[in-house]
Structure 1
């Protein structure tokens, strides 16, 4: 794709991976209620491959992208003002490779290291009150139809691998502040979720040899239709869309706004009383001439403990 470029041209390249990891996620059961007194830890693996499209004037052509990402996560629910709250932490480690033609010359770039971690605080404003496993079961039994509204604030921390002399990085060297609001409506074994997000970016004051990079906000939404089968199995179909995040480098505006349409299918199962696995396929398709179209296969495992 592009290795060491001329001075400016491809301002947005370092943003490609960050967008894939955090702004284009499709996460079913986002507002699900967890019993108090439990913790959840998990590990996940995601393989992503696809095509990356650049402005033809930049000379980068036929660019393909492949990555292997490993994510460790931790969730802790707690009682806040008699509402169910929780803290989520995600730490990703990634190995990625870009291949393509730069001015007609075959070129490749590889990166391996930690990407930016994320911490998220959530609060369910309605729905089941905070309670034990048995209390939540009783609530579901007595209320086969109900709706949960929630809000959250996620912050991506600039701790990932970053080199200011490279245009492609796993970290972004800036904070990403992401307020969310959403709801999930339950009726019997079915549930429907809708979540909207606004992504706000702080300034990267050390972008590519000391330049200043700013980004406009990005808007995103995701929705999920979920079916619970018996007690152990569930499946979901998901759709998402995001748009925005044009960049400004040294007060020069770049026409690199992102717009992506996403679809996904997931299946999950629980076993041993406190463990679960999920398999998901995610397709992301750029709606602009500049962007990326990718396929992701995701496998996760989690365990609950006191």
Structure 2
């Protein structure tokens, strides 16, 4: 049985899943390749306007994703290109007008591309020169970076379904970040904007428009030794109000996010990461979520 009222939920939270990613601006040697695979399990409680007559709405989502990173020298700056692709299956369960209802979806997610450069600090080096430079700035090092993420409308989507894994629109996410290392501690802060194109086939030919969503995050990272680290993160996001066929939905989001993560390198090439990420809404029409994630990476 379809949860028809989820039309409003989708306009609320589509694309608003806030990332908390520590060490995203790390200095890496050029000509490095990194591949990784990860799994995440998410549970969310979704809060809708009582007029929609939907209660106790829950989401359980499984995600498997692969990632590729290539570092290089771009105009004299340490830069990297990233490619991410996921596969998801999720079950929405709730009570609609007093009766149990559910929706199940599975398929490919939207493909994500990212290009970033370190604009200040972190010269493009490799091999012995890279190792010597990192040793020389161990006491204190500051970097400033910029990036742009492009989310492509490649995920599973049908305009005849109210709930889809894909977004059927482009999302552009410019980012800026600053990192300061002081011996074993690293402090990071970044800001980004999620800018959405229109979805002209949102549901049965309707049009979805959405204002930008603004996100801010900070991280404190402690590196016990090379390849062994832990981090604590907090983020804040606001915005993303949507319109459907020109009708304002009054659904701007505001949320807090928090995370704990840890990484361990088994060898110079193989490593693992685990993380917990939680979000808590600051409005009465959004969602709270908890995610456990783990991944493996290979460097060459």
Coarse TM-score class (shorter-chain normalised): over 0.9
- Alpha-carbon distance, 1:11 to partner: 3.1
Structure 1 match to 2:210: 215
Q: 2:243 aligns with which of 248, 251, 260?
A: 248
Residue 280 (structure 1) aligned with residue 279 (structure 2): no
Partners of 1:11 and 1:208 lie apart in 2 by 11
Residue 3 (structure 1) aligned with residue 22 (structure 2): no
Residue 83 (structure 1) aligned with residue 82 (structure 2): no
Q: In structure 1, the residue corresponding to 2:214 is in which secondary structure?
A: strand
Q: How many residues align?
A: 299
Structure 1 match to 2:110: 116
Are the aligned partners of 1:73 and 1:90 in contact in 2 as well (CA < 8 Å)? yes
Structure 2 match to 1:31: 25
Are the aligned partners of 1:17 and 1:170 in contact in 2 as well (CA < 8 Å)? no
Q: In structure 1, the residue corresponding to 2:168 is in which secondary structure?
A: coil
- Alpha-carbon distance, 1:46 to partner: 0.3
Q: CA RMSD in A?
A: 1.4
- Per-residue Cα deviation, 1:40-94 (whole angstroms, up to 9, x for no partner): 0000000001201111111111011101100100000110111011101110100
Structure 1 match to 2:156: 161
Q: 2:88 aligns with which of 91, 94, 99?
A: 94
Are the aligned partners of 1:51 and 1:292 in contact in 2 as well (CA < 8 Å)? yes
Are the aligned partners of 1:264 and 1:280 in contact in 2 as well (CA < 8 Å)? yes
- Alpha-carbon distance, 1:17 to partner: 5.8
Structure 2 match to 1:239: 234
Structure 2: gaps (5+ residues): none
Are the aligned partners of 2:208 and 2:243 in contact in 1 as well (CA < 8 Å)? yes
Residue 294 (structure 1) aligned with residue 293 (structure 2): no
- Alpha-carbon distance, 1:140 to partner: 1.8
Q: In structure 2, the residue corresponding to 1:290 is in which secondary structure?
A: coil
Residue 140 (structure 1) aligned with residue 134 (structure 2): yes
Are the aligned partners of 2:32 and 2:299 in contact in 1 as well (CA < 8 Å)? yes
Alignment TM-score, normalising by the size of structure 1? 0.95
Residue 42 (structure 1) aligned with residue 39 (structure 2): no
Partners of 2:108 and 2:129 lie apart in 1 by 39
Residue 181 (structure 1) aligned with residue 180 (structure 2): no
Residue 68 (structure 1) aligned with residue 65 (structure 2): no
Q: Structure 1 runs of 4+ off > 3 angstroms?
A: 14-18
- Alpha-carbon distance, 1:5 to partner: 2.4
Alignment TM-score, normalising by the size of structure 2? 0.96
- Per-residue Cα deviation, 1:198-235 (whole angstroms, up to 9, x for no partner): 11000001110001110001100111000000223100
